[in-house]
Amino acid sequence: MPKWLPAHGFLIYLSGVLEVILGIMLLFSRTKKLAALFIILMLIAFIPAHIYMIQIAPFLLGKILITPFMAWVRLPFQVLLIAWAWYYYRN
Q: pLDDT digits over 21-51, tens only?
A: 999 999 999 999 999 999 999 999 999 989 9
The percent of residues in the chain predicted with pLDDT above 70, rounded, is 100
Q: Which among 38, 41, 8 has a CA at the least distance from the CA of 21?
A: 38
Please give the pLDDT value at position 5: 81
Residue type, 54: I
Query: What distance in Å separates the CA atoms of residue 83 and residue 24, rounded to the nearest whole number?
Result: 19
Tell whether 44 is covered by a domain: yes
Q: Is residue 3 part of a domain?
A: no
Taking the whole predicted model, whether its pTM rises above 0.75 is answered as yes
- pLDDT number for residue 73: 93
Query: Which residues constitute the domain of residue 28?
Result: 8-90
**Cα 55 from chain centroid (whole Å):** 17
**83 belongs to a structural domain:** yes
- 8 pLDDT exceeds 90? no
Q: Please state the rounded mean pLDDT for residues 71-80.
A: 93
Q: What residues are paired with 66 via a beta bridge?
A: 59
Q: Are 42 and 49 in contact (CB under 8 A)?
A: no
Q: Shortest CA distance to 27 belongs to which of 39, 15, 16?
A: 39
